[in-house]
Amino acid sequence: MRLATIRLADGSTEAARVDGESAVLLGHPDVGALLRDGGLGAAARAVEGATVPLAGADLAPVVPTPGKILCVGLNYRNHILEMGRDLPEFPTLFAKYPEALIGARDAIRLPAETEKLDWEGELAIVIGSAVRRAGPTEARAAIAGYAVLNDITARDWQYRSPQWLQGKTFEATTPFGPQLVTPDEWQPGADLITLVNGEEVQRAGTGDLVFDPAELVAYASTILTLRPGDVIATGTPGGVGHARKPPRYLGDGQTVTTTIEGLGTLTNLVLADGR
């Protein structure tokens, strides 16, 4: 099953099931609300509403207001080596807030306060059922599906202190979508590809994760209860701008395209704040 959150003409949003080139509205305000109101079964049982063409749909973040967005740093073997670090014994976790999220075709806002905005294409996990202190089987069962995310990062703010959050959650910088794809339709392993102005800057198999999705759900759920609609961003592979020699950052008017094969594509224009 594939689910999306679509913006309607009146400014509201609605969850939809993607059927080929069409999206069938399901009566829930968004995918997160649908998951909280019965999980994927609610999508199967929903009384179907209008059908809209997917190509012209205005896509919101697939879960617009997650209760939690947990992000994982340094989780691809090649990226860890690129950054000159040892493989971690435990996941590195930090948070992001819903204000950072944008839709699959929305503009990434370039904050006036940063000169070092960087790309980080990632696989995102969306939680479908409440889980605490999960073992491997329970952790896998708690995953509603997967989506694409780009953890756009203000590097100069990230490294102002040992705590990364301030560089990771600038408002309207993090594209997330285009759809939630359930585990029966997609398994991690396919390539993640990031382009900047059409130039490939990242490519890696999502099977290169040090900590796989079930391990991350189990680890995070040891700390606190994960609930339907919560999101875990699983980390980025090598190829980020900050690690290049010389470093390379995003500028006003550039386009970032983030694809995971089988999950879809985010295409986002970078626009300076005020434009």
Condensed to tens digits (0 to 9), the pLDDT of residues 65-93 reads 999 999 999 899 877 877 778 889 999 99
Distance between CA atoms of 220 and 226, rounded to whole angstroms?
8
pLDDT over threshold 90, residue 152: yes
- The segment(s) of the chain belonging to CATH 3.90.850.10 are 69-272
Query: Tokens 């950052």 correspond to what residue?
Result: 249
Pick the CATH number of 69-272 from 3.40.140.10, 3.40.50.300, 3.90.850.10, 3.20.20.70: 3.90.850.10
As to burial, measured by CB atoms within 10 angstroms (0-12 exposed, 13-18 middle, 19+ buried), residue 35 is buried
* pLDDT tens figures, 4-29: 999 999 999 999 999 999 999 999 99
Which amino acid is present at 182?
T
Rounded (10°) CA dihedral 256, 260, 261, 263: -110
Q: What pLDDT shows up at residue 275?
A: 67
**pTM confidence score:** 0.96
The rounded mean pLDDT for the chain is 94
